[in-house]
């Protein structure tokens, strides 16, 4: 058994032997669970929500819409602006 320490920001360091044995990489994601009095860390892979093509399309829309936002002042102007969305 290897001992590690919980640090000030609730962080622990995984021992090198474990990282090597499980072939873990930097920025690896883990599901965290409790089983009895044990903490389980389960490596997970997330599927990207968008394809690279969809992300490119989103970037183009954002670029096109930049600068079109309307600046409004607090108070009555905000209330009038929000009434348009009801």
The answer to the question of residue 46 being in a domain is no
The answer to the question of residue 78 being in a domain is yes
- What integer pLDDT is reported at residue 86 of this predicted model? 66
CA quadruple 68, 74, 75, 79: dihedral sign: positive
The answer to the question of residue 42 being in a domain is no
Two structure tokens written together for 1: 């058994």
Name the pTM for this structure. 0.49
69: containing domain? 52-83
Task: Count the domains in the chain.
Answer: 1
> pLDDT by residue for the chain (86 residues), tens digit each?
889 999 999 999 999 999 999 999 999 999 999 999 999 999 998 888 888 999 999 999 999 888 887 776 778 777 877 888 76
Cβ 12 vs Cβ 4: under 8 Å: yes
């Amino acid at each position: 058994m290897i001992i590690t320490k919980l640090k000030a920001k609730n962080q622990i360091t995984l021992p090198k032997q474990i990282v090597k044995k499980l072939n873990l990489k930097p920025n690896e994601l883990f599901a965290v669970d409790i089983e009895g009095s044990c903490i389980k860390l389960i490596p997970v892979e997330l599927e990207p929500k968008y394809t690279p093509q969809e992300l490119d399309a989103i970037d183009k829309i954002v670029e096109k819409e930049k600068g079109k936002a309307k600046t409004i002042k607090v108070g009555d102007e905000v209330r009038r602006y929000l009434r348009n969305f009801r």
